[in-house]
Structures are given as structure tokens and as C-alpha cells.
Amino acid sequence: MFGHGLTYTSHPVGCAVALKNLDLLEESVLAHTQAVAPYFQAQLKTLEELPLVGEVRGLGLMGCVECVADRESKDPLQLDKDVGKRIDAHCYELGLLVRPLINMCVMSPPLIISREQIDDTVAILREGISRTMDDLRKEGAWQG
């Protein structure tokens, strides 16, 4: 029986798992993360080509794509405040989960993500944003 979930159940097991997790982080995962993080940031930055994207920012394997109605004013309030949810819905249909926050999509992929998976992530996010732009144009909510 593998008992877990209670305050005083299986502490040795939980501790052993935590120690092994720390070993993995220190031995290989951190080095891998440091190697792929610049690539992740560079690939996300390519999304700034899209007219709906005002800014892409992040650090390491954390990224944020902020959408704006107008790049000059960077005013997100003229745009549907749920644009992040719209992008997330399209991405979900395509197999990617993003965290929508008002007019932003926030991501923090697994530390073991590969370059190929980064490429897939950015391609799906690009398509999700493109589909959202099409939706907003059709609704007359954004001219882009």
C-alpha cells in the first residue's frame, strides 16, 4: 500500500522522493533548463511579428505574450478584455494549454522541455493568436 496525502503518513517516502527530485534538478535538469531557456525566449519573441502582440517578455522558462489593441498606445483596454481566454481556447483545440490573464497568455513549460517541443508550443500559440485575430476582425472588435 502506498499511503499518501495525510499529514503523518509515509513521511519517509515523501522525503525520499523529494531528495531524489533535488538530485535530478541539481544533476541535469538545471543544466538543461539553462541551455534551452534562451531558445525558448527567442522563439517566443518571434510572436511580436503578429499585429495583435504588443510585447513578449519573460525570463528562463517563463514567458508572457501581451496582446494590445494598438501597438502605438499599447492600450489593452480598447480590446476585448478576455482576449487571453480566446487565445487559450484556440490553443486548447490545437493541443496546448496556456494561462490566460486578461489580455495576456502566460506560460511556464516543464523544465525538461525540448527544442522541438518549444517549436511546437510557439507554432500552436502563433496559430491560436492568428485565429483570435480572425475572430476579432469578423466581430468588428479589432481592425488590426
What sections of the chain are H helices per DSSP?
11-24, 30-45, 83-94, 115-139
The reply to whether 11 falls in a domain is no
Residue environment code for 49-75, b if the CB has 16+ CB neighbours within 10 A, otherwise e: ebebbbebebeebebbbbbbbeeeeee
The highest-confidence range among 2-6, 41-45, 136-140, by mean pLDDT, is 41-45
Q: Domain of 57: which CATH number?
A: 3.90.1150.10
CA distance 100 to 3: 35
Q: Which domain holds residue 60?
A: 37-139
Number of domains in the chain: 1
The reply to whether 24 falls in a domain is no
DSSP 25: I
The reply to whether 105 falls in a domain is yes
pLDDT in tens, 92-128: 999 999 999 989 999 999 999 999 999 999 999 999 9
- The torsion angles phi and psi of 59, rounded to 5 degrees, stand at -150, 130
The reply to whether 51 falls in a domain is yes
* pTM for the predicted model, two decimal places: 0.82
The reply to whether 26 falls in a domain is no
